[in-house]
Amino acid sequence: MQRSLVLDPKKCTGCMQCEMACSLENEGYVVPARSRIRVFAFHDEGRYAPFTCTQCSEAWCLHACPVEAITIDASTGAKVVHDTVCVGCKVCTIACPFGTINYASNSGKVIKCDLCGGEPACAHACPTGAITYQDADQTGLDRMRRWAGESLSSATAQ
Amino acid sequence: MAWQRKILRVNLTEGTCTPEPLNMEWAAQYLGQRGLATKYFVEEVDATVDPLSPDNKMIMATGPLTGTIASTGGRYSVITKGPLTGAIACSNSGGYFGAEMKFAGWDMIIFEGKADAPVYLYLEDDEAELLSADAIWGKTTWDTEAWIHTQHQDPQIRISSIGPAGENGVTYACIVNDLHRAAGRSGVGTVMGSKNLKAVAIRGTQGVRTVKDPSRFMEATTAAKKVLADNAVTGQGLPTYGTQVLMNVINETGALPTRNHRDVQFEGAGKISGEAMHEPRASDGKPNLVTNAACFACTIACGRVSRLDKNHFTVKNKPEYWGASGGLEYENAWALGAATGTDDLEALTYANFLCNAYGMDPITFGTTLGAAMELKEIGALDGVETGDDLVFGSAQALADLVEKTGKGEGFGVELGLGSKLLCDKYGHPDLSMSVKGQEFPAYDSRGIQGMGLAYATSNRGACHLRGYTVASEVLGIPVKTDPHATEGKAELVKAFQDATAAFDSAGICLFTSFAWTLADVAPQVDAACEGEWSVENLGELGERIWNLEREFNLRAGLTAKDDTLPKRLLTEAAKTGPAKGLVNKLGEMLPEYYQLRGWSEDGVPTDETLKRLGL
Amino acid sequence: MQHVIIGNGPAGVVAADTLRKADPQASIILLGDEPEPPYGRMAIPYLLEGNIDEAGTHLRRDADHFTRHDIELRQGRVTSVDTEASELTLDGGDSLGFDHLLIATGSRPNRPPIPGIDDPRVQTCWTLADARAIAQLADKDAEVVLLGAGFIGCIVLEALAARGVKLTVVEMADRMVARMLDANAGSMLGTWCEQHGVSVRTGVSVTGVDGSGERLDVSLDDGSSLPAQLLILAAGVRPNIDFLDGSGIETDNGILVDECLHTSKPGIFAAGDVAQGRDFSTGHRMVHAIQPVAADQGRCAAMNMAVHPTAYPGGLAMNVLSTLGLVSCSFGAWDGVDGGDSTQLLDRERFRYLNLQFAADRLVGATGIGLTEHVGALRGLIQSRQRLGPWKARLQRDPTRIMEALVGCSVQL
Ligand SMILES: Cc1cc2nc3c(=O)[nH]c(=O)nc-3n(C[C@H](O)[C@H](O)[C@H](O)COP(=O)(O)OP(=O)(O)OC[C@H]3O[C@@H](n4cnc5c(N)ncnc54)[C@H](O)[C@@H]3O)c2cc1C
Ligand code: SF4
């Protein structure tokens, strides 16, 4: 059973331990500006929402890439960017309708969540259980994916 | 290492921004943040300087653990000479700003001089610019943050700014960051305003590269986080109730200063407590509290986020205050509530929102209002246009005057003086509940004796964040002591003061000390920073800092005479509660304290002490 | 079932892969007329910059990819299609039958009718062969004139600048990238280029090329002329549809397709730069000629060929462009719609710009300069036709909060 990240804004306190853990894992040092997971603040609502790639089955980013720099990790289902292949054209960043694949000017490549090979550092670092890594079936991300599938293709109707 | 080894010097008079290497010799002696910035400050600034003159400087400083995975590693401090006290001022804040400064590549920023016209500093990694703040001068801190975000088209910029209070010379203006976090006390925002510096906006993408021993650091921080999670205060009490967990406890202890310290218990405490914030309101069925929130890297998350009842009289036609924002912490709830005798939770929350938006310290504002209410009651304000409502318990007066003070209008101008100048002006200096010009926080030293000594000797005037013996005397952390006894308190105060200075210099939050001792801090600092950072070394660091601050204050003209408490606390006994009949017995503790500190009878550090500490 | 795909660019290759997954038994033939393994044109600039070698442009990295997936790659140029007989003819005269056909022949660059343009030092920048020729001529400090500052022109511009040539851009329109960027963004891009050492001449056209000397002499309609070792043409593209003359397949600018990417003839589909399909924003049929649309259409066409009826929501115009390090992007109805409204932040000095176009409480288009974080959120908000509710007012106050709007609209807070 493939698992996915479950993100629960109601439990998030905005501490950014996930952003630090993510950058530490992926960049080798603490640099939240290059975290693959981001915590968004909703001041009026008094909420924080962690958000990252849903590893959607449509994988707009993957299909848009002209050089096959994004492939699927068979064990986790994650869509993974290969730095050595990516030319930095940024087409994937506009193709992804969730805004979760970003261009990093320091490397000239794009960065996105790769589920850390099956042990997501963010989930491990989260002190409140706002980020967990669970069986794909029960995740809120399914809802998100469905939203993606439905709202992005039902747009045809018009 | 965990330091970025780089500081930015901003000369506002010249309009220049110059990078400098961090003095690593000093870093080895003073660690960072409070300690290290104080070292820079005392080396560079004449102690007799007028706090509001261009010759005063203001330092924003991070600690080595700021911007690391260490829990609560997101703090920064503002160090300057304070206008309220004429002493060293050092105010500490959480939120995200401190970490952002670190991520931009800087350990601290030193501001000197005064700009010709309002400016703000924009710092994006290595690039620093002073830009015109004409468009935001006069705006609240909230509008300032929004303006800077759109001006630079970057929602990720972190900002510290002053509000109208800091521009108008309210003596206790604070510096607000991330909408509702603040370097709150001692008027550091007033100094910033006097320099025509409206805001500091930072975007950092460089990160914190390394710590000395990454794997040991991971182990140490993970273990320390577990200590916080397993502790009843930091693991449950603070996340659930915030510091407001204390309201009922301190009231029952008989140490909740009420109506300008005339009483030590407040009959309305329950209505303004942490528990009350969870209760559904009668008016709209919703609780005042929306959620708890964390500062950067904090795994405690004691912060309060509240939303007002839209129909409450304070905000009926003010939609700008309908969104969720920073809710009441214990000290604020006390100062705006018990100190003024007001028990309307919504009005207190509203006043708290305005203190954040206008940029002023709610503790000094609330206590000053309490003092004004007493002055009014005894007739000292006859003939002064104060409004009819200026009576203890008036939520209307609180709501009106918090706005007027922020805006510098009407009687608000008088309240902007702070209680000391106000009470002096109207002929009753004894009614200012302050030490060295700074007002007390929320613990009455008649009911908690050690706090009397802590207040009297605090280097920045009355303050709970310099030696929080409440932990021991009331909560039993790390050991329970009798709050009514004076014996052993000198030692307790010294120990708390020194340890606190070490916490404050590391980049972490003092609230961790409900669960952590220096034994939890040392392994984290030691794994992060070059040098040897044992418990003993950190303790000595704290003592060194304490003496450094003391020396500055003495040079600034303060003397042992200033190590005292208002007459009320020394002569008027507590009327109710467990401490009934008690006054604070400072005289029994102070000489012993001087002795333990290695100071002369006049409170001056002896040569031997200075030498021992390498000063 | 025999599927034949003409054209092995992104649309063709994505279609072949999708077909293989959707119809494991079918025979799939993928035809291409260039003497290269299937490659992505988009990668050519990076080849010119020297960031990658030719293999780095290949659409599939694994040399065995097509064999492994039992996709037959064939080189050959299709010269005609007989829709009645379901058969096509290749340039050698061979014919090939099909059950389902996908036309994904892409487009080719225009060569404007300018005297002297056939000189070998006048190059388009479209194929790997073009890239090799350019690499020969565009040495460091060589004087290069680029005709056309459209989208492709600007991408090529960056690659040329990286090679260190002395570059002059000549553009007929009054600003750069006029078809993708609004006036603000286009003029900012122009200023940026000038500040970074590229000379930009807008509002002028090339009238002739004199190749008699050691260097080309490129004359302009304002009377001036420019010396050049190399003239690069980036004057637009047009779909490769000539070989369909007489086939009865309906064409306009490109091949007209319905929302299933079906052409006017049964069993025949078209996708990519060659197709003229529904535009997401206007509902009209148009040629998009961009990579993400080519990939999406290739996938969608393949699903329909494998008889899994799938509708395509319409191509959303979207572009991202890096010009000498300045990133610009645009989406959908970036120039607005009738009765709509807009909001923007403009900072010319810092080269930051964000313009959002709304129709009632929906986002319909956007333009950005210097925006790189979470740009995809713009596509998400536009393409989902998300009703913004309270977020519209918030975006009007601060348009940069696009990601918050997307998350706020789609996640239970
Ligand atoms: C330099 C450059 C940079 C670009 N940058 C971007 C960018 O940044 N973003 C973006 O979105 N787009 C960009 N594009 C455009 C993008 O490459 C095209 O939109 C995309 O390649 C279209 O894919 P396609 O499969 O439809 O057509 P093509 O990639 O053109 O492939 C069609 C294939 O069919 C072959 N063919 C044509 N006719 C026949 C025939 N009769 N018989 C057999 N084979 C035939 C062609 O030779 C070609 O190999 C760029 C293009 C170029 C040249
Ligand atoms: S930026 Fe890299 S990963 Fe994204 S589409 Fe371009 S080459 Fe592929």
Q: Report yes or no on C116 lying in a domain.
A: no
The reply to whether C174 falls in a domain is yes
Chain A (79-118) residues lying within 8 Å, Cβ to Cβ, of chain C:
85, 87-91, 93-103, 105
A132 forms beta bridges with: A6
**What CATH number did the domain enclosing C356 receive?**
3.30.390.30
Q: In residues, how long is chain C?
A: 413
Name the CA radius of gyration of chain C, rounded: 22
Indicate if the pLDDT at residue C176 is higher than 80. Answer: yes
Q: How confident is the model at residue C122 (pLDDT cuts 50, 70, 90)?
A: very high
Residue A143 pLDDT class (50, 70, 90 cuts) = low
**Cα within 13 Å of Cα(B233), Cβ side:** 15
Distance C40 CA to ligand 1 centre (A): 7
State pLDDT tens for residues C373-385.
999 999 999 999 9
**Comparing C-alpha atoms, which of C150, C142, C133 is closest to residue C48?**
C133
Q: What is the pLDDT of residue A45?
A: 93
Answer yes or no: do C99 and C246 share one domain: yes
DSSP string, B391-432: STT-HHHHHHHHHHHHHT-THHHHHTTHHHHHHHHTT-GGG-
Ligand nearest to the CA of A59: 2
Range of the domain at C390: 325-412
ipTM of the complex: 0.94
Specify the pLDDT at position B336. 97
Mean pLDDT, residues C18-36: 96
Mean pLDDT over the full length of chain C? 95
Task: Name the minimum distance, in Å, from the CA of A145 to any CA of chain C.
Answer: 10
Cβ-based neighbour number of residue C97 at 10 Å: 12
What band does A57 get if pLDDT is binned at 50, 70 and 90? confident
H or E segment to which residue B446 belongs = none
Phi-psi sector, B389: left (phi>0), alpha (psi -120 to 50), beta:
alpha
Residue C320 lies in a domain: no
What is the percent of chain B with per-residue pLDDT over 70, rounded to a whole number?
A: 100
Last residue of a domain, which of C198, C233, C268?
Answer: C233
Q: Which helix (H) or strand (E) holds B37?
A: helix B33-44
Cα–Cα separations (whole angstroms), residue B95 to B76, B92, B108, B191, B321: 9, 10, 16, 21, 20
Residue B289: other Cβ atoms inside 10 A: 24
Within the 353-412 window of chain C, which residues sit less than 8 Å (CB to CB) from chain A? 372-380, 383-386, 402-404, 406-408, 410-412
CATH of domain A1-53+116-158: 3.30.70.20
Distance (angstroms) between ligand 2 centre and the Cα of A117 equals 20
Residues B305-336 have pLDDT tens digits of: 999 999 999 999 999 999 999 999 999 999 99
**Claim to verify: residue C300 and residue C257 sit in the same structural domain:** yes
Half-sphere exposure at residue C278, Cβ-oriented, CA atoms within 13 angstroms: 16
> How close A132 gets to chain C, by Cα (Å)?
16
Last residue of a domain, one of C233, C256, C275: C233
Q: How far, in Å, CA of B470 to CA of B243, rounded?
A: 13
Q: What is the pLDDT of residue B242?
A: 94
Both tokens of residue B37?
């910035």
Give the model's confidence band at A137: pLDDT under 50 very low, under 70 low, under 90 confident, else very high.
low
Task: For B371-403, give one letter per residue: b (16+ CB within 10 A) or e.
Answer: bbbbbbeeebbeeeebeebbebbbbbbbbbbbb
- C238: amino acid identity, one letter: R
Confidence at residue A139, expressed as pLDDT on a 0 to 100 scale: 55
Sketch the domain layout of chain A as residue ranges: 1-53+116-158, 55-112
Taking CB atoms and an 8 Å limit, are B156 and C354 in contact across chains? no
Q: Do C372 and A66 touch (CB under 8 A)?
A: no
> Cis bond leading into B478, ω under 30°?
yes
Smallest CA separation from ligand 1 atom 41, residue: C78
Length of chain B, please?
Answer: 615
Domain endpoint, select from C211, C233, C255: C233
Record the tokens describing residue B151, joined without a space.
């001006």
* Domains identified in chain C, total number: 3
Residue B334 Ramachandran class (φ > 0 left, ψ -120 to 50 alpha, else beta): alpha
Q: Which residues have C-beta within 8 Å of that of residue A105, sequence separation ≥ 6?
A: C372
Residue of the CA atom closest to atom 2 of ligand 2: A86
Residues within 6 Å of ligand 1 by CB: A 89, 91; C 6-12, 31-34, 41-42, 44-45, 77-78, 104-107, 125-126, 152, 155-156, 240, 243, 272-273, 289-292, 294
Tell me the pLDDT band of A156, cut-offs 50, 70 and 90. Answer: very low
- Amino acid symbol at B128: A
C343 lies within 8 A of chain B by CB? no
Distance from the CA of C157 to the center of ligand 1, in angstroms?
A: 18
The CATH code belonging to domain A55-112 is 3.30.70.20
- Give the three-state DSSP class for B438: strand
In this prediction, residue A154 carries a pLDDT of 40
Burial of C212 (0-12, 13-18, 19+ CB in 10 A): exposed
CATH fold label, B6-203? Aldehyde Ferredoxin Oxidoreductase;  A, domain 1 (3.60.9)
Chain B: residue whose CA lies nearest to C354: B153
C143-172 residues touching A, CB cutoff 8 A: none
Q: Find the CATH number of the domain harbouring C8.
A: 3.50.50.60
Q: Identify which of C268, C288, C249, C245 has the alpha carbon closest to the alpha carbon of residue C107.
A: C288
Arch. (CATH architecture) of B439-612: Orthogonal Bundle (1.10)
Q: Which residues of A touch B307 (CB under 8 A)?
A: 46
**Inter-chain residue contact B152 with C350, CB threshold 8 Å:** yes
Query: In whole angstroms, how far apart are CA B110 and each of B12, B61, B80, B113?
Result: 10, 8, 10, 10
Q: Give me the residues of chain B with pLDDT under 70, please.
A: 1
| Beta bridge mates, C255 | C251, C275
Pairing of strands A131-135, C268-270: unpaired
Q: Are B258 and B266 in contact (CB under 8 A)?
A: yes
Length reported for chain A: 158
Average pLDDT across chain A, whole number: 88
The reply to whether C295 falls in a domain is yes
Residue whose CB lies within 8 A of the most ligand 2 atoms, among A70, A72, A107, for a mutation test: A70
Q: Which residues of A touch C291 (CB under 8 A)?
A: 64, 66, 91
Domain B258-432 has CATH 1.10.569.10: yes
Residues C288 and C367 both lie in one domain: no
**Lookup: tokens for C184:** 């603000």
Instruction: State the nearest Cα–Cα gap between C353 and chain B, in angstroms.
Output: 8
Positive/negative CA dihedral, B395, B396, B399, B404: negative
pLDDT of residue A2: 81
- The residue nearest atom 4 of ligand 2, judged by CA position, is A92
Residues of C in contact with A96 (CB under 8 A): 376, 379-380
**Same domain as C182, residue C90:** no
The burial class, CB within 10 Å (0-12 / 13-18 / 19+), for B213 is middle
Whether C140 and C228 map to the same domain: the answer is yes
Q: What is the pLDDT of residues C182-217, one digit of tens each?
A: 999 999 999 999 999 999 999 999 999 999 999 999
Question: How confident is residue A153, by pLDDT bands cut at 50, 70 and 90?
Answer: low
